[in-house]
């Protein structure tokens, strides 16, 4: 059974960089897409972007200027960095495994438990 | 940017059928999927590729589509099905979620 676990600081100061890591266990990170999704308290899900195990990325256009994703296949981990955070970035951040279906579909079949990141001084 | 539209809320009586819609431009030419999210929990995939059900998801959950609208149907709705439901599609290589629908089982 594939399991994902997010880790990183739960509190980040405004204007600083949010950094999270997702560790994948029970399966290989190879040959899959890996997504980051966030959910502000009481609000809907928002895709931040995804990274293929080879390192190619795709980011949400609204966040693209502040987001960097990376993957470390040797550790079965992938990471998210988001710069210049504000209170609007306060959210539960989830990592998930993506399954791409040709050029017309993508779904997330395994999710981490999520980690709350609060942006506050 | 691409948008998926869901009704904010749907109510259903126990044992009845609940239907949640999701509409988007040219959605019929893309695969859609659905997630269930209960309070304080991570989303769970309940339907993918429009109509497929992952292992472990009860048969009462089904997906369909017509034109540019995808529909999640829950037959014989149970109290445990009360949750938020999100549709999701892939447009221009970007993952897009609908705004979510709160399903209330009265």
Q: Is B98 on the interface with A (CB under 8 A)?
A: yes
Instruction: Assign A103 a pLDDT band (cuts: 50, 70, 90).
Output: confident
Nearest CA in chain A to B29: A104
Q: Is B55 on the interface with A (CB under 8 A)?
A: no
Residue A48 has pLDDT above 90, yes or no: yes
Nearest to B45 among A35, A105, A107 (CB): A107
Q: What are phi and psi of B14, to 5 degrees?
A: -55, 135
Residues of B in contact with A45 (CB under 8 A): 35, 37, 43, 86, 88, 97, 100
User: Residue-wise over A13-52: b if at least 16 C-beta within 10 A, else e?
Assistant: eeeeebbbbbbbeeeebeebbbbbbbbeeeeebbbbbbbb
Q: Is B35 on the interface with A (CB under 8 A)?
A: yes
pLDDT tens across B17-55, in order?
999 999 999 999 999 999 999 999 999 999 999 999 999
């Amino acid at each position: 059974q594939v399991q994902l676990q997010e880790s990183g600081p739960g509190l980040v100061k405004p204007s600083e960089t949010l950094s999270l890591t997702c560790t994948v266990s029970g399966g290989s990170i190879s040959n899959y897409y890996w997504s980051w999704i966030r959910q502000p308290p009481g609000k809907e899900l928002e895709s931040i972007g995804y990274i293929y195990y080879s390192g190619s990325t795709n980011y949400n256009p609204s966040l693209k200027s502040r987001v960097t994703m990376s993957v470390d296949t040797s550790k079965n981990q992938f990471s998210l960095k988001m710069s210049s955070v504000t209170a609007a970035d306060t959210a539960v951040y989830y990592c998930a495994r993506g399954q791409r279906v040709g050029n017309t579909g993508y779904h997330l079949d395994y999710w981490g438990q999520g980690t709350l990141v609060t942006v506050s001084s | 940017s691409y948008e998926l539209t869901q009704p904010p809320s749907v109510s259903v009586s126990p044992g009845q059928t609940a239907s949640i819609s999701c509409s988007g431009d040219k959605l019929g030419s893309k695969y859609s999927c659905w997630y269930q999210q209960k309070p304080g929990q991570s989303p769970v995939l309940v339907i993918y590729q429009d109509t497929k059900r992952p292992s472990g998801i009860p048969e009462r959950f089904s997906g369909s589509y017509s034109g540019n609208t995808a529909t999640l149907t829950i037959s014989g709705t149970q109290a445990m099905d009360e949750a938020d439901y999100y549709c999701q599609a892939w447009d221009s290589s970007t993952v897009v979620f609908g705004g979510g629908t709160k399903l209330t089982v009265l």
